Structure formats: structure tokens, C-alpha cells
Amino acid sequence: MDEMLQALLLFWIPVSMVPLGLWHSHSSTATVSTLRGRSLAFSGIILICLSPWTVPSSPSSAAGHLLGAIIGPCTMLIFGIYLISFSGNVPVGKLPRSDRKIGVLMAIVGFVWLAGMHWWILTPQLSLNVVNPYWYVFWPTFILLISCLASCSAVTLLMIGDQRKSESNTMFILSGLSFSLLLLGLYIDGPLVSGEEFRQHLWLAVADLAGIAVGSLLSILVFALVIYGYERNLAEPKSISPPTDSELKQVSKLIATHIGGEQE
Amino acid sequence: MKESNLVFTWRMMLLAFFLPPLLILAIEVTLAGDFKGIDSGVSFTRFANATLTAYTLCSLFLLGNLFFYGESRNRPLAPLVGMVLATALGVLATVLFIGQGSMLLENNGSVRAQTIYNIVHMFVSSGAILMAVSVGVGVTFSAITSQKPRSNFVLEEE
């Protein structure tokens, strides 16, 4: 089979299955449609993860390889945070208190697993000692953005929140932890990722984040302008004539019959 | 006892957001004496590619949202055509700028290879952003729910 066709069938169609499946599952309230949409998205994810074996000739399949490598720790991290959050003081959907310990353990293992991909033997490799190029994109972007968001969240909790100092301190600790990981990455070489490579990719991640922010804001601006232009050119809605005296009388009569409670 | 809150300002929030990269920059300059990790040409290429790809993909996503907007407006064609044109402009600009030569090519030999690389790169970056936002929001939420329940009423002393 032609390489391009192979990539289209075994990588790009599965990639498109994920948003299509999610859209389908959210656009209908019927259980069958929701289930069908979720199955489509899940099959897409599985096929993307399998792409390094199904389409090894395509360079894009390295993204599938990365997804397969990080899906475990990322799921553990997110599910751990979910368990910690909902085993606390929440008014709805409260989980048993014992789930908190499992959640903390899952979140720590997930984070350590991801960190171990930089400083230990867990680095995603396409072949022996060849690091997946998309790992250099994912890790600096992820760790830098966590540090920025946690710092912003900590200051926001202090400014807007009422007596949120301990929560703010937690966020400062998270920001400091990820900042320390960034500094360690810059000055301490991992087994496969050197500090120099990490430095290069960290600044590329900054450029990447800035580009994504500018591009997304531009498209939102264009979208708003398109809607504004359309709404402004719409004709004025037809005004209806004011109610007549007989209509007003009928309305007052109806209101009068429905006002007031029973007399004791 | 009520704690004294900081005054809310957007400048303060923006500074808090940009503090980590600024600190790293300061440490790098202090220790190394220059920006040895920053290659302005490569960084600009990445920035430009990310801008073009994010604009095009985000426009495509918003174009999809216009169908839901149309549901409440008797399915008008005008905004749909406007957004299709805006998306097409993004695609054309991407092809045109990448086709100019080595300016926007990152270790890729052709416009098609660079465009596909840009899209895959955007998926990976978006995944990292989504994960970071989930962790940031999730940890904030879990820090808030970990505290003891508060009463919203202050009991008056008799």
C-alpha cells in the first residue's frame, strides 16, 4: 500500500475519529448515541497508540508513540486529583474518605512516572537511545505551564479568596516544585536528555505557547467580528402595537384572581 | 479573624503568570551571562508556525461551532461563508509563508511535510496545555475541598 494512503487510513482517520466521537457523544442525549460516540473516540485513541506499528514509515506516528507512553501516568495523575478533590468537602458527588489516600498515591506515582521519563530510564524512545522528538515538545510545555498556572492560581486565591492562605500556599508549593524541575532540567543532564537540549526546547516551548495564544486570540477575534457583522446587518424586529383597554382589563382581571392567599 | 486580602489587579495576575519564565531568564543571564539557549531565528520560526497553525485549527473549530449558532438563527449562510473565508485565509497564509523558502521550514523538506508536522506538533502542544490546565485547576480545586467545611453564617453572641 502507498505510504501516504497508509498514513491517511491508519493515522489521520483515527485522529479525526477522536473529536468526531466526542462531538457525537456530546451532541445527543440518547444513551446509544453517547455510547457510540465514546466508542468511536476510544477506538481512535487505540489506533493512534498503535500507529508506530501500523504505519512505522510515517514520522507523524511518533506522536502516537508518545501518546502510548504518557497515557498511563497522565491518567493516573488526573484520576488521582479527581479522587482527592471529590473525597473532600464537596456538596455533591462525594466519594468515601478512604479514596483520598488512593488519590494521593495515584497522583504522586503519575507525577514521579512523568519525571522519571526525563531523569530515569523511562524516556520515550523510538529506537535505542533515540528519544521521541515530541517528548521534547510535551515535557517543557507541560512543566512550564503548570508552574505559571499554579503561581497565577496562588496569587488569585490570595486576592479574590476569603481566608484562602493555606490553599494559596499549596499552589505556591506546586509552582515551586515544577519550577525546581525546570531548573534541574536546565542544569542536570538526564540519561538521554541533556541540559543543553532541554534548554533549547524550553525556549521553543515558550515560543510555541506564545504562538498558540496569539493564533487562538486572532481566530476568536475574527469569529467575533463575523458574528458582530452579521448581527448588525439584521433587520429590526417588528414592533407590536400596545395592548388595548379591553386587553388590559382582561389581564388585570386574571391577575386579580391569582393574587392573595387563603383567608384564615 | 478575617485575613487582609491583596488588592485585585490584572497586572498582579499577569506578573504571577509570567514570573516562572522571567525568573528562569534572570537565573540564566546571571549564571551564564547571556541567552545561550535562545536561537532567535529558530524561536521565531516556531512562533510563526504555531501562530498560523493555531489560527487555522481554532478557526476550523469555531466554524464547527457556527452550526450550533445557526440552530437559533434559522441557519443563516452569511456568517458561515465569512468563517469559511477566514479559515481559508489561514490555510492560504500557511501555505504561502511556508512556501517562501527556509524562513518557516523546520528540518522539513517541503510545504506538505512542514504543514503536517505543524498539525501534529500542535496536537502534542495542545495535549500538554490541556494536561497542565487540568492539573492546575484540579490541584486548586482539591486544595479548596481539602479544608474543613465553613459556615456561611456568623452566630451572634447573646
In chain B, where the domains are located: 39-130
The rounded mean pLDDT for chain B is: 81
- Are A86 and A146 in a shared domain? no
Q: Residue A238 in 3-state DSSP?
A: coil
Identity at A30, one-letter amino acid code: A
pLDDT score recorded for residue B154: 57
Contacts of A23 in chain B (CB under 8 A): 64
At A247, list the grid cell: 386587553
Residue A106 placed within a domain: yes
What are the grid coordinates assigned to A229, written together? Answer: 457583522
For residues A114 and A144, membership in a common domain is answered with no
Tell me if A261 is assigned to some domain.
no
Looking at the complex, report in whole angstroms how far the Cα of residue A243 sits from the nearest Cα belonging to chain B.
28
Residue to test with chain A: of B57, B71, B124, most A Cβ within 10 A: B124
Residue A255 lies in a domain: no
C-alpha to C-alpha distance for A141 and A66, rounded to whole angstroms:
14
pLDDT for the residue numbered A150: 93
Question: What is the distance of C-alpha B49 from the center of its chain?
Answer: 14
Claim to verify: residue A140 and residue A219 sit in the same structural domain: yes
Residue A249 lies in a domain: no
- Name, in order, each residue with C-beta under 8 angstroms of A161's C-beta and a sequence gap of 6 or more: A167, A168, B5
Minimal C-alpha gap between A218 and chain B (Å): 6
- Which residue blocks in chain B are alpha helix, DSSP H? 10-32, 40-71, 78-99, 111-145
Instruction: Report yes or no: A82 and A91 within 8 Å, Cβ to Cβ.
Output: no
Does A206 sit within 8 Å of B21, measured CB to CB?
A: yes
Give the whole-angstrom CA distance, residue A121 versus residue A212. 31
Sign of CA dihedral A26, A138, A179, A218: negative
**Residue (of A44, A37, A36, A39) closest to A15 by Cα position:** A44
By Cβ distance, the residue of B54, B116, B145 closest to A90 is B145
Q: Are residues A36 and A73 in the same domain?
A: no
pLDDT in tens, A60-82: 888 888 888 899 999 999 999 99
Q: Is residue A250 part of a domain?
A: no
User: Among residues of chain A, what percentage have pLDDT more than 70?
Assistant: 98
Which domain range does residue A100 map to? 65-125
A157 lies in the same domain as A102: no
Inter-CA distances, A123 with A72, A111, A253, Å: 14, 14, 79
pLDDT per position as a tens digit, A22-51: 888 887 777 788 888 889 999 989 998 888
As given in the structure block, the three cell numbers for residue A228 are 458582530
A199/A160 same-domain check? yes
Gap between the terminal Cα atoms of chain B: 19
Q: Do B43 and A203 touch (CB under 8 A)?
A: yes
Distance (Å, rounded) from C-alpha B97 to C-alpha B52? 9
pLDDT confidence tier of residue B36, bands split at 50, 70 and 90 = low
ipTM of the complex: 0.83
Q: Are residues A50 and A94 in the same domain?
A: no
A157 to chain B: which residues are within 8 Å by CB?
A: 140
A149 and A203 together in one domain: yes
Residue A195 in any domain: the answer is: yes
Domains in chain A, number:
3
Kindly state whether residue A240 falls inside one of the protein's structural domains: no
Q: Angle at Cα A111 formed by Cα A163 and Cα A70, nearest 5°?
A: 130
Residue A206 domain flag:
yes
